[in-house]
Chains A and B, each alone.
Chain A
Amino acid sequence: MATSQSIVRGSIPARAGIGLRAVHHDALLSERPDVGWLEAHSENYFADGGAQVDYLVKLAEHYPLSLHGVGLSLGSTDALDREHLRRIRRLVNRFEPCLVSEHVSWGSVGGVHLNDLLPLPYTWEALRHLARRVAEVQDALGRQILLENVSSYLQYTVSELAEWDFLAALVRESGCALLLDLNNVFVSSRNHGFDPIEFLEVIPCTAVQEIHLAGHTANRYGDREILIDTHSTHVCDDVWALYDAALRRFGSVPTLIEWDTDIPALGVLVDEARVADSRREARHGLAA
């Protein structure tokens, strides 16, 4: 074992885990790599039965689990999808995951789902709406959930708050915790020209219970570029530097390596998780 499993914040270890993807199910079970925990997309295990759910049952015997939803569309002005929430509740009751998370985003209107994590305008109306819905989900699940900041490729003229102030207010209003995606912070900071460190400094220290790290790509538009949150490559140096800053501010927080497109062999994700662990250990050393 490379590192000791210091258990904090529930029973998830404060070390790096990896995003669970179906292509790695068999390799994870046969190789049982030394990663701290696994995070499953809730919707991938909504099935009533079958092989996918069986894999999750077997993997949960070996790794602490986090459930991460991508389809609840919490920021949508449509009614909350009760069937979707029922399936999340069923999973949560069955697997009792250490962490349950959703996104600060919306994805449907008028019954039509766009199946994407779309940015909300940072208005007081959106804040009140999202906080109400988060509280509703927390009541339904009987536990606190984490809300993740998303990458964005546009800003709305109607926004009244900075994104970081919106997140801090969401924590106050709803009692949720935060899943801070540092790649998303970095992508949005480049796309909209803000200082990512300033973003971190406004986020309440105790609210951050999980960190996401992932890779991105860049699209060029003439002399400008927009970074796109593709989860298709390694974590870049700038995001690793931001991770060091986050460790300084938020302490030792469970950290996840995400990779969703052009998914590499399991070993690549495990190696990336080791990099995160070694940076955390180095930071701890400095702090001690």
Chain B
Amino acid sequence: MASLRDLQSAFASAVRGGEAELLESYVVEDGIAPARRLGIYANNVRENFLATLEATFPVIARLAGRDWLRQSGVRYQRACPSRVGNLHYVGERYAAFLEADLAEAPYAYFADVARLEWAYQQVLVAADPAELDRASLAVVPPADYGGLIFELSPAARLVSSIYPLFAIWQSNRAEAPAETGTAIRLDAGPSRVLILRRRDRDHVELRELPAGDFALLSAIARSRPLDAATDEALQSDPALDLAAALNRLVQIGALTGWSLPRPA
């Protein structure tokens, strides 16, 4: 007799559109063809996945239309089936899938929109951020500032794009008016977006950051010490006022802590 694992493998293959003959031999017909019975499960598996995708990528749904998202979602599910029991994570690889799937398409920018929307979902469920204790920095001797490693808020993500991502998001998010009247030019220039949930606030904010601030924060996100992070930021914006930039990032809650590793 077939083992439980054989049966489960055959079931998964059949509902994912593969060979169904083996599984059908395990299914009692009882007046309704096994293929039809399996079809109910195949439908459930597809619809659960697509409904979650629609909820996760509302901006893509609005930009491209629900039908497009569903068709894309079916291809995505086939190429990148869910790897987790928690359905909320099925969108994790959608941006990478779109990047490959739409490489030559005129709407290749959907991949960046999907990255932004996935970052939004991550920020929604991230740990609640602490407040940076500014006063504690007073103990750091000025000579050691360059070694400071700031912490990016756990509820913050950075997404950059060669497309005007921030404007696209603003015009197509659920709260946006149905017709803004202004068309967005895809060649309007790059966008650098901070997605952030601030302390004691339950909503997620998006902000477009200047190039220098974005480079600084990106380096901080990679745990680079302040002097190295500053070098990277100055490459993006040679006129950057570092103190002002750090102050802005603390002010908006993007930085939530710091450490000063001991010299080796």
Interface residues of A (CB under 8 A from B): 43-44, 46-52, 54, 70-73, 76-77, 81, 84, 87, 106-116, 118, 120-121, 123, 125-126, 129, 153-158, 192-193, 219, 221, 224, 226, 228
Does B27 sit at the interface, judged by CB under 8 A? Answer: yes
Tell me, yes or no, whether B83 is within 8 Å of chain A by CB: yes
Give complex CA distance A51, B4 in Å.
40
| B3, B15, B44: residue with the most chain A Cβ atoms closer than 10 Å | B44
Q: How far is the CA of A49 from the CA of B44 in the complex (A)?
A: 30
Contact A49 B155 (CB under 8 A): yes
- Given A154-B28, A154-B34, A226-B40, A116–B45 Cβ distance below 8 Å? yes
With a CB–CB cut-off of 8 A, which chain A residues contact B104? Answer: none
Q: Which residues from chain B contact A112 at a C-beta distance below 8 Å? A: 12, 16, 81-83
What number of residue pairs across chains A and B have CB atoms under 8 A from each other?
139
CB-CB under 8 A from A107, the residues of chain B are: 85
Taking CB atoms, residues of chain A closer than 8 Å to B125 are: 46-50, 52
11 contacts between A and B (CB under 8 A): A46-B125, A51-B124, A73-B85, A84-B86, A112-B81, A116-B45, A153-B37, A155-B27, A158-B2, A193-B30, A221-B36
**Given the complex, which residues of B lie within 8 Å of A219, measured CB to CB?**
40
Q: Which residues of B are found within 8 Å of A48, using beta-carbon distances?
A: 125-128, 154
Q: Which chain A residues border B41 with CB–CB below 8 Å?
A: 114, 116, 118, 153-154
Which chain A residues lie closer than 8 Å to B203 at the CB level?
Answer: 51
Please determine whether B127 and A114 come into contact, CB atoms closer than 8 angstroms.
Answer: no
Contacting pair B83 A113 (CB below 8 A): yes
Docked Cα-Cα span, A125 to B3, in Å, equals: 8
A71 and B86 contacting across the interface, CB-CB below 8 Å = yes
Task: Report how far A83 CA is from B20 CA in the complex, Å.
Answer: 32
Contact A110 B9, CB 8 Å, known A123-B4, A155-B27: yes
Interface residue B259 (Cβ < 8 Å from any Cβ of A): no
A118 to B45, CA, bound (A): 10
Out of A49, A71, A110, A115, which one reaches B128, CB within 8 Å? Answer: A49
Assembled-state Cα–Cα distance A111/B85 (Å)? 10
Given contacts A49-B125, A109-B12, A158-B7, contact A114 B82 (CB under 8 A): yes
Report how far A114 CA is from B16 CA in the complex, Å.
9
Shortest beta-carbon contacts, A-B, top 10: A71-B85, A47-B125, A49-B128, A51-B202, A48-B127, A154-B37, A77-B5, A109-B8, A113-B82, A155-B28
Which residues 214-262 of B have a CB within 8 angstroms of A? none
The verdict on B88 contacting chain A, using a C-beta distance below 8 Å, is yes
Bound: A51/B125 CA distance, A: 8
Q: Which residues of B contact A154 (CB under 8 A)?
A: 27-28, 34, 37-38, 41
Given known contacts A125-B3, A153-B41, A157-B25, what 12 new A-B pairs fall within 8 Å (CB)?
A: A43-B86, A46-B88, A48-B125, A49-B126, A50-B126, A51-B202, A115-B49, A116-B41, A155-B30, A158-B7, A219-B40, A224-B32
**Does B149 have its Cβ within 8 Å of any Cβ on chain A?**
no
Minimum Cβ distance to chain B for residue A264 (Å): 18
Chain B residues within an 8 Å CB radius of A49: 125-128, 154-155
Q: For residue B5, which residues in chain A have a CB less than 8 angstroms away from its CB?
A: 77, 109
Task: Enumerate chain B residues within 8 angstroms of A123, measured Cβ to Cβ.
Answer: 1, 4
The residues of A that contact B9 with a CB separation of less than 8 Å are 109-110
Q: How far apart are the CA atoms of A115 and B75 in the complex, in Å?
A: 17
Assembled-state Cα–Cα distance A44/B85 (Å): 12
Report B53-89 CB contacts with A as 1/0, cut-off 8 Å: 0000000000000000000000000000111111110
Contact call A116/B40, Cβ cutoff below 8 A: no
Size class of the contact patch on chain B: 35 or more
Contacts of B116 on A, CB cut-off 8 Å? none
Contacts of B7 in A (CB 8 A): 121, 156, 158
Say whether B48 faces chain A, with CB atoms less than 8 Å apart. Answer: yes
* Cβ contact within 8 Å between B44 and A116: yes
Complex Cα gap A158–B83 (Å):
28
Taking a contact as CB atoms closer than 8 A, the residue among A47, A76, A114, A121 that contacts B124 in the complex is: A47
**Distance to closest chain B CB from A148 (angstroms):** 16
Is B31 located at the chain interface by the 8 A CB criterion? yes
Taking a contact as CB atoms under 8 Å apart, the answer to whether B26 and A157 are in contact is yes
* Central interface residue in A48, A49, A77, by most chain B CB within 10 Å: A49
Indicate whether B157 reaches chain A with its CB closer than 8 angstroms: no
Q: Determine whether the beta carbon of A106 is less than 8 Å from that of B8.
A: yes
A84 partner residues in chain B, CB cutoff 8 A? 84-86
Tell me whether B150 is interfacial, beta carbon within 8 Å. Answer: no
In the assembled complex, the CB of A48 is this many whole angstroms from the nearest CB of chain B, namely: 4
Residue B211 lies at the interface, judged by CB distance under 8 Å to chain A: no
Is B90 part of the binding interface, using a Cβ–Cβ cutoff of 8 Å?
Answer: yes
B105 to chain A, nearest CB (A): 27
Among A114, A120, A158, A193, the residue within 8 A (CB) of B12 is A114
Residues of A within 8 A of B81 (CB): 112-113
- How many Å lie between the Cα of A116 and that of B81 in the bound state? 13
Q: Which of B86, B88, B125 has the largest count of A CB atoms less than 10 A from its CB? A: B86
Bound-state Cα–Cα, A54 to B124, Å: 12
B28: A residues at CB distance < 8 A: 154-157
